[in-house]
A and B are shown apart, each in its own frame.
Chain A
Amino acid sequence: MGTNASEIELDSIYEIESLNEGSLHQKLSEMGCIPGTEIEKLFSAPGGDPVAYRIDSYILGLRLIEASQIMVKRVK
């Protein structure tokens, strides 16, 4: 079982491995969440959801359920 983006920790850098098939696949990929892209958790809203991620060079807010569609692996 790999890690998905909703589970990642602050202050470490991950890389996107794949996106789960489903209705969000297209939207997430056009927002630049494609395999090989760096992803990092920056901060979250009160209550822990949604979460702000760095995708390559910009900040993207995602609900946890949306982030769980992104499979990642730790780089640093």
Chain B
Amino acid sequence: MNWKRIALIGNPNCGKSTLFNRLTGLSQKTSNLPGTTVDSYEGKLPGSNTTLIDLPGIYSLFTNTDYEKVVVKNLLGIDSQNPEALYFILDASNLRRNLLLLSQVAELGIPTAGILTMHDTALRRNIEIDVDKLSELLGIPIIIFNPRTAKDITPVKLLNPVIGNKIQETANFKERLETFVKGTLPEGISAETLLRYNQIDGIIKQCVTRKTKFSAVNTLKIDKVLTHPVTGILAFLLVMLALFQSVFMLAEFPMQGIEWAFSFLRNQVEDWLPSNSTIGNFVSNGIISGLEGVIIFVPQIFILFFLIGILEDSGYMVRASFLTDRIMRKLGLNGRSIIPLVGGFACAIPSIMATRSIRNKTERLVTMLIVPLMSCSARLPVYVLLISLVVPVGVFWGPFHAQTVLMTAAYFAGIFVAIVMAFLLKLFLKNKENSEFILELPTYQAPRIQTVLNNAWIKCKSFLQEAGKIIIVISMVLWGLSNYGPSKAMQNAEALSQLETANGNPDSLQIKYSLKLEASYAGHLGKFIEPAIQPLGYDWKTGIALISSFVAREVFVGTMSTLFQSNEEEDVVGIRQKMQAQLNPATGKAQYTPAYAVSLMLFYAFALQCVSTVAVLKKETGTWKWSIILFTLYGFIAYLSAFIAYQILS
């Protein structure tokens, strides 16, 4: 009676995850099975030493995607510890289809107890279930339990799973499952499914009475509006706009808080370890800034997944896929790709993580690969600075504000390349699984905030644990590059800056930073790559900024301001004026021309200039392959388009 591991199993949309959240609360954690990117969750049943496992929701054991394989592997104890017992979640409003999976699972002889959810929905639809009869026919105990409203989970804890009746017995069932896990679908599955349904219909006849025909009236009423050609599309656009705006704007406040907290921390450290000492510099600018570079993403991840959770839980997400399927299909994408792509305009990191809800592997991969082409919020400050080099504020091209036109153009450049990439990837990547829609449209429900918050927090945790490490390591390497240099060059820089201080130059501190950066390895690298980037119109200073902004694109502005000895780090006007005054030593003309700015904007629009994106891609694809391919490919596209733009415009 004291089970160590109990797995929750059931169809998608049956209330399984809500139940799991209700039972385990905050004790849950994700557990990835080796070789898949499908999450299953584990948590403790309170007041016991039972571990509950939330398996992904599936309709049948024999469908060829990772989800079914994860469930089958779990049940058979392959690559993981097998559960001793099962809680089978049955959606009362949809019993017939739910029983298919139960009839398959029953053949494994694992002690099982049934939990009947959505019983109130079923009653509202005039579906009456004789639970005692059902329990008798299936040979397992069954309780009615509503995880959304239940105050007490004792009924679930009192359940005593037993080995149930085999509803429809198939010869060599276990062997068939084992063949399936190895990758081949066993023979005669369709016929087996028909036999199962025959038995199930017999059971349904004995214990379900339906007084009236199908009557999901509310859901149909809502769908009439939300899938309507006019109101539906309008509602969809509004939801997407709200999603983007929320990630973009709601995250700003906590992100400022994080920045403030870290600068406070740096100031505290400064008292102990002055930042002009090597250790102090390493601690405050290497370690603390590296940490900050990771934690800064948490608000965006949390907000995006909170909103996605609301959309999923309410049932709207599936409708969004339903609405956009026609367009997305043409691009080799999936209706569910739309959320990550919209989210990409705020930040690629949570958006790439959000592709997990796309069940088709190829469609998910293509979505992940084009998300970084959406102009994220970190590109915004770079665009703002560069656009100000092209046209001053207040200039109009016809009826349009010139700066706005350029900004819009930069966004569309990314979208355009993304569409082209999607087409190309569709050609090159063979879609191994059928591209199919076949999607249940669940009943609309009020989202359960507790569940949604829990899930958003779990996403943040897994980001911090997995991608965080890579981001910190690369940040520290970049820190090292811009703080250390060949000793002779560094000594020279030091001597020169001391001379300025001795002369009483009021800007001596800025000059010191600028000189040291120039003398560092990053400075040398910047000069080293100058011949390569000269055809794009960039000088070595831009080269240094390009390298250092690999930490985060907006660092470009900060680096340029350091190099131009600007007082205020974020003062675009100040840097712009200094940049405009700079002459090209070879030609004697202005260095930072409009052609330069357009070329660099294109470069930032396309290049994978973001260590965090690289790290998250590695985490989500499970290999470095795609990170490397994308970095090279998008770098090439960036270089080529910047080159063409500069050569035409200058």
| Chain A residues in the interface with B (C-beta under 8 A) | 23-32, 34-36, 40, 42-47, 49-50, 52, 54-63, 66
Whether B127 contacts A57 by the Cβ 8 Å rule is yes
Interfacial chain B residues near A56, Cβ < 8 Å: 96-97
Given contacts A29-B190, A49-B326, A59-B440, could you give 9 more A-B pairs where the C-beta distance is less than 8 Å? A24-B436, A29-B193, A29-B197, A45-B232, A45-B326, A59-B216, A59-B219, A61-B438, A61-B440
Whether B322 contacts A27 by the Cβ 8 Å rule is no
Give the distance in Å from the alpha carbon of A34 to the alpha carbon of B93 in the complex.
19
Whether A30 contacts B100 by the Cβ 8 Å rule is yes
Give the distance in Å from the alpha carbon of A25 to the alpha carbon of B52 in the complex.
34
Whether A59 contacts B441 by the Cβ 8 Å rule is yes
B224 on interface, CB distance cutoff 8 Å: yes
Whether B190 contacts A52 by the Cβ 8 Å rule is no
Interfacial chain A residues near B233, Cβ < 8 Å: 46
**Which of the 9-residue segments B59-67, B167-175, B457-465, B639-647 touches chain A?**
B59-67
Whether A26 contacts B438 by the Cβ 8 Å rule is no
User: A27: which of B125, B228, B229, B436 is its contact (CB, 8 Å)?
Assistant: B436
Interface centre among A36, A46, A66 (most CB of B within 10 A): A46
Whether A26 contacts B193 by the Cβ 8 Å rule is yes
B258 on interface, CB distance cutoff 8 Å: no
Distance in angstroms from A72 CB to nearest chain B CB is 16
Distance in angstroms from A59 CB to nearest chain B CB is 4
Whether B63 contacts A66 by the Cβ 8 Å rule is no
Whether A61 contacts B434 by the Cβ 8 Å rule is no
Give the distance in Å from the alpha carbon of A23 to the alpha carbon of B190 in the complex.
11
Give the distance in Å from the alpha carbon of A46 to the alpha carbon of B97 in the complex.
28
Among residues 145 to 197 in chain B, which have CB atoms less than 8 Å away from a CB atom of chain A? 185, 189-190, 193-194, 197
> Given that A26-B193, A52-B441, A54-B214 are known contacts, is A63 also in contact with B100, CB under 8 Å in the complex?
no
Residue of A nearest to B122 (CB): A57
Whether A43 contacts B60 by the Cβ 8 Å rule is no
Whether A31 contacts B97 by the Cβ 8 Å rule is yes
> Given that A24-B436, A56-B97 are known contacts, is A34 also in contact with B223, CB under 8 Å in the complex?
no
Give the distance in Å from the alpha carbon of A43 to the alpha carbon of B125 in the complex.
20
Q: Mark B224-241, 1 if CB is under 8 A from A, else 0.
A: 100111001100000000
Residue of B nearest to A47 (CB): B326
Give the distance in Å from the alpha carbon of A35 to the alpha carbon of B228 in the complex.
31
Whether B438 contacts A27 by the Cβ 8 Å rule is yes
Whether B223 contacts A43 by the Cβ 8 Å rule is yes
Give the distance in Å from the alpha carbon of A36 to the alpha carbon of B96 in the complex.
13
Interfacial chain B residues near A34, Cβ < 8 Å: 193-194, 197
